[in-house]
Amino acid sequence: MVENETFQYKIMSFTEDFSEFLSTDDFADVGLYTPVRGVQSSVIGIFTNASDFTNLGVDLDEGGSQPTFLCKTSDVPVAAHDDTLIVSTKPYKVVYVLPDGTGMTRLILEKLT
C-alpha cells in the first residue's frame, strides 16, 4: 500500500500473457536458440525477414533484407551478440538484441552460411 497526503492506493504487478500472440498454430515459429555461454533451448517467436530497419540504425545484410525474431524476453534473458538461432533449419547469428520494455525482445539476425 502506498500512501501520501491525498491518495492511498495499491501498486499491482502486471504480467502480460503472450501465448495467443505467439501461437505456433497461427504465425509463430519454434527456433533453437543457443547462447554463446549457456544451454541450447527451444524458443517460440515470430520470424520475419523485413527490408527496412534504417530507423534503428541497423545496416542491412547483403541481400537487402534483415531477418528478425521477436520472442519473450524471459525466453532469452541473457541474449547477446554472436548467440545463434536456427529457424526452419536455417542458422542465424544474433547481431543486435532489442528488448522493448514490455516483455518482448527482437533479435536482429544475420544468416550464417
Distance spanning both ends of the chain, measured CA to CA: 55
Q: How many Cα atoms within 13 Å fall on the side-chain side of residue 26? A: 7
Classify domain 27-111 at the CATH topology level: Thrombin, subunit H (2.40.10)
Q: What's the pTM value of the predicted model, to 2 decimals?
A: 0.73
Q: Which tens digits make up the pLDDT trace of 66-107?
A: 899 999 999 999 999 999 999 999 999 999 999 988 889 999
